[in-house]
């Protein structure tokens, strides 16, 4: 009975009710979609890397290392020696390792020097492997040294196909004055879309990174057939050039800072070079970072500490999950602001609802008195007002849910093709239901003012 | 006592403690008796009616209606008792404007029984017929009716639960002379059929001819006389 009374009462004041409904509808839409995008963004953020136990680079902050190695934002100026990489990747606790060499770019996209281990072990999302849309991994042997594998976005944005010739530039940034023009690369593989920074990355062989930075005269030497399968051939003499190169990149202020370290590296490299000569197994002198997969996750903290306290080189090992969480705290602040604004909008429209209810109380005074005269308890009056408020809020929430669902459902393809943002249409999660529940609670609390006022008045006739 | 529909003893009421506005030593109304109460405004008419209908709590003294001690009931019990045993017709605004006539009457029935009564529609139809209202009025919205029609529907609403007492507070003051006469006739005959007692308050003394008893509230209320 109270339901039909509330329904008729709302219909009687349909214009003010409709306006209140629209205000609430818009704010709940805002709240739900912001929450949804926030959640999706966070999810895709945490999806970027998984299954990697540690990321190791030269001594730096964990966010720096994460940004440069996973997101390819801002190159980590410091490099770590190949020798350290070799030493740590052969640690008994390590199951696999992926070396990464950063610092080059192609039309603004990061170029990553790595090995086929990258395609073998890198995981994203729910421990998903990288798969190929077209083509395959780097070919083996020296003839395939300028092989290139590109991410899905790059293939789409730059309209590249298998077999295309690509020239990479030195340094990051869209405009570079130093092109490695004499070493064109050939696209041999195009990765399937992952929704992670991998889509926007260009992968070349680690040894090719060394090759493009060498003088033209050295390049010919690289066409020498390789003896090993996985490690690319490389001339030990390249080291000298590489160091020169590094100095150029760092600039004077860096040079001063890192002078000591470089000396240290020099010392190491000399012995390293001797090693290489002895084994006639040419390798890169240094890399930017490497990723490690361990035998057991229990060993992560132990190995992290060991690497951080490494006596031969100043290194930093980070746990991707921990670093991602720290980075998200920085990025997430923006989301919090959005959330705050949409909450404020919600509160404003709820206040509008209360105002509507309160102002209608005056004109409803005789009506409420009749209800009392008929034998209605004051609590009936209280719940009538509450019910009216709650039904407006519930209708607004449900239609907002439906609207946002349809909007996402209809625009998800467009969003994916135009912005590369994949939005799941599954907004009917516990989280959104929680938002709706929160809206209902807020409505109840905020509608207490008119309800109690009506209750009090009706109690004293 | 059993033929006594209303029995008031030593009743006093104060809105603020120590400032009593009503003091009635003894006042009785027999079953099926009708009484015409008059008095100037401010003599405590509304207060007395609100006390009788249980809308106001008694400060001291007792009100018995059909052997129920109204003054001893908890507020929610008083509300339930009013819904069941007391029909109230006010000067105007007797109906919830946005509900249909039938829903208004249904609501009154709902408050009295706490459930939906399937026979309400039939009884409401009968009552409206007695009150000279066309049957289709049942389904029109209360606010669409004329004042005269609204007041007659109010009688039907007040009578639907067959209450012991009908309290009418200036129910005809919004009507013109002809309509008032017709209204009084309909009220009297409808109330007579249910054998309810009728307390009718008005300052239009020409209406007093319709009633068994005529009393001035100034005579009943000792405080009213003093002030």
**Mean pLDDT, rounded, of chain B:** 87
Q: Which pLDDT score, from 0 to 100, does residue A250 have?
A: 46
> Quick one: DSSP state of residue A193?
P
Domain assignment present for residue A252? The answer is yes
Closest Cα of chain B to A38: distance in Å? Answer: 44
**In this structure, are A295 and A428 located in the same domain?**
no
Q: How big is the CA angle at A254 (ends A253 and A255), to the nearest 5 degrees?
A: 90
> Quick one: DSSP state of residue A377?
-
Between the two ends of chain B, the Cα-to-Cα distance in Å is 32
The yes-or-no verdict on residue A425 having pLDDT over 70 is no
Distance of CA B41 to the CA centre of its chain: 18
Domain assignment present for residue A219? The answer is no
When mean pLDDT is compared over A7-11, A195-199, B115-119, the highest value belongs to: A7-11
The yes-or-no verdict on residue B116 having pLDDT over 50 is yes
Instruction: Please give the residue that has the higher pLDDT: either A219 or A47.
Output: A47
**In this structure, are A306 and A336 located in the same domain?**
no
Q: Which pLDDT score, from 0 to 100, does residue A242 have?
A: 44
Domain assignment present for residue A223? The answer is no
> Quick one: DSSP state of residue B55?
S
Which residues does chain B have within 8 Å of residue A369's beta carbon, measured at their own beta carbons? 90, 93
Does any CB of chain A come closer than 8 Å to the CB of residue B168? no
Asked if the Cβ–Cβ distance from A12 to B97 is below 8 Å, we say yes
Asked if the Cβ–Cβ distance from A8 to B103 is below 8 Å, we say yes
Closest Cα of chain A to B55: distance in Å? Answer: 7
Does any CB of chain A come closer than 8 Å to the CB of residue B49? no
Between the two ends of chain A, the Cα-to-Cα distance in Å is 22
Among candidate residues A423, A420, A400, A402, the one with its CA nearest the CA of residue A411: A423
Q: Which pLDDT score, from 0 to 100, does residue B174 have?
A: 83
The yes-or-no verdict on residue A305 having pLDDT over 60 is yes
> Quick one: DSSP state of residue A179?
B
Does any CB of chain B come closer than 8 Å to the CB of residue A371? yes
**In this structure, are A261 and A343 located in the same domain?**
no
Q: How big is the CA angle at B94 (ends B90 and B98), to the nearest 5 degrees?
A: 165
Alpha-carbon distance of B24 to B45, in angstroms, equals 12
**In this structure, are A100 and A201 located in the same domain?**
yes
For residues B38, B41, B43, B46, the Cα torsion angle rounded to the nearest 10 degrees is: 80
A47 sits in which H/E element? helix A14-47
Partner B, chain A 10-39, Cβ-Cβ below 8 Å: 11-12
Task: Measure CB to CB from residue A377 to each of B76, B84, B103 and give the nearest one.
Answer: B76
Q: Which pLDDT score, from 0 to 100, does residue A331 have?
A: 77
Q: Which residue of B has its CA nearest to A2?
A: B107
Task: Measure CB to CB from residue A372 to each of B55, B84, B94 and give the nearest one.
Answer: B55
8 Å CB contact between A286 and A79: yes
Sign of CA dihedral B146, B148, B151, B153: negative
Residues 6+ apart with CB under 8 A from A424: A40
The yes-or-no verdict on residue A399 having pLDDT over 90 is yes
Would you mind telling me the total number of residues written for chain A in this entry? Answer: 461
Angle in degrees, 0-180, between the axes of helices A365-374 and A320-363, rounded to the nearest 10: 80
Closest Cα of chain B to A394: distance in Å? Answer: 22
The yes-or-no verdict on residue A71 having pLDDT over 80 is yes
Does any CB of chain A come closer than 8 Å to the CB of residue B102? no
DSSP alpha helix (H) spans, A230-297: 238-279
The yes-or-no verdict on residue A225 having pLDDT over 60 is no
The yes-or-no verdict on residue A152 having pLDDT over 50 is yes
Alpha carbons within 13 A on the beta-carbon side of A407: 13
* Residue B168 confidence class, pLDDT cut points 50, 70, 90: very high
Taking only the tens place, the pLDDT of each residue in A72-128 is 877 666 788 888 898 998 888 899 999 998 888 788 888 888 988 898 888 887 788
The yes-or-no verdict on residue A382 having pLDDT over 60 is yes
**In this structure, are A261 and A288 located in the same domain?**
no
Q: How big is the CA angle at A234 (ends A233 and A240), to the nearest 5 degrees?
A: 175
Closest Cα of chain B to A4: distance in Å? Answer: 9
Does any CB of chain B come closer than 8 Å to the CB of residue A373? yes
Q: What is the pTM of this model?
A: 0.68
Q: Which pLDDT score, from 0 to 100, does residue A224 have?
A: 38
Does any CB of chain B come closer than 8 Å to the CB of residue A461? yes
Among candidate residues B109, B99, B95, the one with its CA nearest the CA of residue B154: B95
Sign of CA dihedral A51, A54, A60, A61: positive
Does any CB of chain B come closer than 8 Å to the CB of residue A377? yes
Closest Cα of chain B to A381: distance in Å? Answer: 12
Alpha-carbon distance of A81 to A253, in angstroms, equals 21
Does any CB of chain B come closer than 8 Å to the CB of residue A278? no
**Mean pLDDT, rounded, of chain A:** 78
Q: Which pLDDT score, from 0 to 100, does residue A181 have?
A: 63
Task: Measure CB to CB from residue B97 to each of A367, A372, A375 and give the nearest one.
Answer: A367
The yes-or-no verdict on residue A450 having pLDDT over 50 is yes
**In this structure, are A133 and A202 located in the same domain?**
yes
Residues 6+ apart with CB under 8 A from A57: A65, A68, A69, A76, A78, A80, A288, A289, A290, A315, A316
Q: Which residue of A has its CA nearest to B168?
A: A373
Backbone torsions φ then ψ of A410, nearest 5 degrees: -80, -25
The yes-or-no verdict on residue A356 having pLDDT over 90 is no
Alpha-carbon distance of B51 to B63, in angstroms, equals 8
Q: What is the mean pLDDT of residues B35-61?
A: 88
* Residue A298 confidence class, pLDDT cut points 50, 70, 90: confident
The yes-or-no verdict on residue B166 having pLDDT over 90 is yes
Domain assignment present for residue A431? The answer is yes
Question: What is the CB neighbour count within 10 angstroms for residue A111?
Answer: 27
B12, β-bridge pairs: B23, B60
**In this structure, are A142 and A287 located in the same domain?**
yes
Q: Which pLDDT score, from 0 to 100, does residue A256 have?
A: 46
Alpha-carbon distance of A460 to B47, in angstroms, equals 11
Its domain, for residue A36, covers 2-46+332-460
Domain assignment present for residue A72? The answer is yes
Instruction: Please give the residue that has the higher pLDDT: either A274 or A104.
Output: A104
**In this structure, are A96 and A124 located in the same domain?**
yes
Task: Measure CB to CB from residue A9 to each of B56, B76, B98 and give the nearest one.
Answer: B98
Alpha-carbon distance of B27 to A336, in angstroms, equals 70
Q: Which pLDDT score, from 0 to 100, does residue A237 have?
A: 39
Does any CB of chain A come closer than 8 Å to the CB of residue B84? yes
Question: What is the CB neighbour count within 10 angstroms for residue A266?
Answer: 11
Question: What is the CB neighbour count within 10 angstroms for residue B41?
Answer: 8
The SS3 call for residue A180 is: coil
Angle in degrees, 0-180, between the axes of helices B120-130 and B101-113, rounded to the nearest 10: 120
Asked if the Cβ–Cβ distance from B107 to A12 is below 8 Å, we say no
Which residues does chain B have within 8 Å of residue A370's beta carbon, measured at their own beta carbons? 90, 93-96
Asked if the Cβ–Cβ distance from A373 to B99 is below 8 Å, we say no
The yes-or-no verdict on residue A17 having pLDDT over 80 is yes
**In this structure, are A86 and A30 located in the same domain?**
no
Q: How big is the CA angle at A299 (ends A298 and A303), to the nearest 5 degrees?
A: 150
Q: Which pLDDT score, from 0 to 100, does residue A226 have?
A: 38
| Number of independent structural domains in chain A | 3
Asked if the Cβ–Cβ distance from B93 to A376 is below 8 Å, we say no
Does any CB of chain A come closer than 8 Å to the CB of residue B157? yes
Domain assignment present for residue A120? The answer is yes
Backbone torsions φ then ψ of B12, nearest 5 degrees: -140, 150
Domain assignment present for residue A325? The answer is no
The yes-or-no verdict on residue A268 having pLDDT over 70 is no
**In this structure, are A61 and A196 located in the same domain?**
yes
Asked if the Cβ–Cβ distance from B88 to A8 is below 8 Å, we say no
What is the 3-state secondary structure of A82-131? HHHHHHHHCCCCEEEEEEEEEEEEECCEEEEEECCHHHHHCEECCCEECC
Q: What is the mean pLDDT of residues B58-84?
A: 89
Q: Which pLDDT score, from 0 to 100, does residue A229 have?
A: 37
**In this structure, are A260 and A273 located in the same domain?**
yes
**Long-range CB contacts (< 8 A, 24+ apart) of A258-265?**
A258/A77, A258/A78, A261/A58, A261/A78, A261/A314, A264/A313, A265/A81, A265/A313
Tokens of A145: 């040294």
* Residue B217 confidence class, pLDDT cut points 50, 70, 90: confident
Task: Measure CB to CB from residue B50 to each of A375, A377, A461 and give the nearest one.
Answer: A461
Domain assignment present for residue A324? The answer is no
**In this structure, are A340 and A455 located in the same domain?**
yes
């Amino acid at each position: 009975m109270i339901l039909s009374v509330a329904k008729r009462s709302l219909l009687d004041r349909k214009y003010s009710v409709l306006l209140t409904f629209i205000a609430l509808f818009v704010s709940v839409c805002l709240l739900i979609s912001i929450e949804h995008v926030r959640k999706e963004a966070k999810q895709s953020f945490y999806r970027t890397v998984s299954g990697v136990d540690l990321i190791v680079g030269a001594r730096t902050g964990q966010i720096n290392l994460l940004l440069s190695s996973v997101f390819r934002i801002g190159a980590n100026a410091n490099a770590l020696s190949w020798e350290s990489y070799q030493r740590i990747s052969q640690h008994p606790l390590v199951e696999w390792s992926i070396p990464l060499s950063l610092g080059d770019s192609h039309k603004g996209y990061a170029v990553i020097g790595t090995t086929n281990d990258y395609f073998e072990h890198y995981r994203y999302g729910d421990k998903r492997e990288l798969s190929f849309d077209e083509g395959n991994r780097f070919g083996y042997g020296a003839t395939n040294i300028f092989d290139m594998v590109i991410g899905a976005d790059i293939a789409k944005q730059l309209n590249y196909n298998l077999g295309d010739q690509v020239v990479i530039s030195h340094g990051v940034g869209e405009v570079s004055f130093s092109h490695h023009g004499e070493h064109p690369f050939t696209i041999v593989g195009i990765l399937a879309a992952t929704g992670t920074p991998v889509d926007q990355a260009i992968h070349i062989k680690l040894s090719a990174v060394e090759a493009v930075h060498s003088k033209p005269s050295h390049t010919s030497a690289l066409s020498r057939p390789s003896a090993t399968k996985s490690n690319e051939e490389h001339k030990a003499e390249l080291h000298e050039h590489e160091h020169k190169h590094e100095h150029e990149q760092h600039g004077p202020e860096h040079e001063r800072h890192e002078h000591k370290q470089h000396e240290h590296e020099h010392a190491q490299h000399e012995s390293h070079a001797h090693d290489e000569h002895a084994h006639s197994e040419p390798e890169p002198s240094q890399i930017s970072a490497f990723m490690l997969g361990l035998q057991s996750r229990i060993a992560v903290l132990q190995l992290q500490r060991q690497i951080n306290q490494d006596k031969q080189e100043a290194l930093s090992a980070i746990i991707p999950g921990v670093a991602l969480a720290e980075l998200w705290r920085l990025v997430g602040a923006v989301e919090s602001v959005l959330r705050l604004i949409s909450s404020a909008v919600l509160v404003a429209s709820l206040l509008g609802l209360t105002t509507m209810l309160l102002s209608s109380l005056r004109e409803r005074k005789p009506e409420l008195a009749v209800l009392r005269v008929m034998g209605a308890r004051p609590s009936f009056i209280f719940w009538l007002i509450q019910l009216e408020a709650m039904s407006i809020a519930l209708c607004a929430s449900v239609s907002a849910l439906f609207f946002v669902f349809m909007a996402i459902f209809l625009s998800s393809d467009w969003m994916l093709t135009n912005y590369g943002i994949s939005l799941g249409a599954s907004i009917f999660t516990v989280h959104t239901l929680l938002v709706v529940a929160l809206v209902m609670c807020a409505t109840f609390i905020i509608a207490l003012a008119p309800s109690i006022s009506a209750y009090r008045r009706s109690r004293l006739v | 006592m059993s033929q006594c529909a209303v029995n008031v003893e030593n009743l006093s009421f104060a809105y603020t403690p120590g400032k009593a506005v009503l003091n009635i030593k003894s006042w009785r109304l027999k079953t099926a008796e009708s009484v015409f109460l008059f008095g100037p405004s401010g003599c405590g008419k509304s207060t007395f009616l609100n006390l009788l209908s249980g809308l106001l709590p008694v400060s001291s003294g007792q009100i018995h209606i059909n052997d129920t001690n109204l003054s001893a009931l908890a507020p929610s019990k008083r509300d339930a008792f009013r819904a069941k045993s007391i029909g109230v017709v006010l000067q105007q605004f007797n109906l919830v404007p946005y509900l249909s006539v039938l829903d208004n009457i249904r609501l009154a029935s709902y408050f009295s029984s706490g459930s939906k009564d399937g026979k309400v529609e039939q009884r409401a139809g009968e009552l409206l017929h007695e009150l000279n209202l066309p049957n289709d009025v049942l389904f029109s919205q209360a606010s669409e009716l004329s004042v005269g029609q609204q007041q007659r529907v109010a009688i039907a609403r007040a009578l639907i639960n067959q209450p012991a007492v009908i309290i009418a507070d200036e129910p005809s003051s919004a009507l013109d002379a002809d309509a008032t006469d017709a209204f009084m006739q309909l009220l009297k005959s409808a109330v007579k059929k249910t054998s309810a007692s009728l307390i009718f308050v008005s300052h239009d003394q020409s209406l007093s001819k319709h009633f068994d008893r005529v009393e001035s509230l100034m005579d009943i209320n000792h405080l009213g006389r003093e002030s």
